[in-house]
Structure 1
Amino acid sequence: MGCMSDRTAASAAKRLLASRLAARPGIAAVGLARQDAGYVVRVDLTDAGAGAGVPQDVDGVRVVTHVIGAVRPL
């Protein structure tokens, strides 16, 4: 598992994971985040249970989850 991925590798992993998770309930967003000296894919969840089945890495890029709660329009 690489946690010091460059932006290009992390972007490719983000696109792949976003397409895999697109229809799953509880997934609020899939994006990139800086961590240490590189990038990780960050998956924002509406609740902790939604994280079950989210992989720990995609193509060697580390995936982190973060519970943000329910998303409501402003």
Structure 2
Amino acid sequence: MGGVSDRAAARAAKSALSQQLAAVPEVVGIGLARRGTGYVVKVDLADPLAARRVPRDVDGVRVVTSVVGVVRPL
């Protein structure tokens, strides 16, 4: 299972994961988050059930999820 990674590896994993999850409407955001001395990919979800569609790691980089709800413009 993946762990914390350097920023370059996390960016590459974020890019790959963004393409993989592009068709999942419950994914409302994908970014990087610091964990200790490294980075993980953080996926924001509108629905907790969507977490099962998100892999736990991408190319050795850990992926974490957070349920933030539906995102609407102000």
TM-score category, normalised to shorter length: over 0.9
Q: What TM-score does the superposition give when structure 1 sets the normalisation length?
A: 0.94
**CA–CA distance in structure 1, aligned partners of residues 29 and 46 of structure 2:** 9
Distance 1:25 1:68 in 2: 13
Q: What does residue 12 of structure 2 align with?
A: 12
Which residue is equivalent to 2:54? Answer: 54
Equivalent-residue separation in structure 2 for 1:23 and 1:2 (angstroms):
24
1:51 Cα deviation (Å)? 1.1
Whether the aligned pair in 2 keeps the contact of 1:33 and 1:41 (CA below 8 Å) is yes
Which stretches in structure 1 are left out of the alignment for 5+ residues? none
TM-score, with length taken from structure 2: 0.94
Count of matched residue positions in the alignment of Structure 1 and Structure 2: 74
- For residue 62 of structure 2, give the secondary structure of its aligned residue in structure 1: strand
| 2:73 counterpart residue number | 73
Q: Which runs of 4+ in 1 moved over 4 A?
A: none
Gaps in structure 2 of 5+ consecutive residues: none
- Give distance in 1, aligned partners of 2:71 and 2:59: 29
Aligned-pair CA distance for 1:50: 1.3
Task: Report percent identity of matched pairs.
Answer: 61
Counterpart-to-counterpart distance in 2, 1:24 and 1:2:
22
- C-alpha deviation, 1:4, in angstroms: 2.4
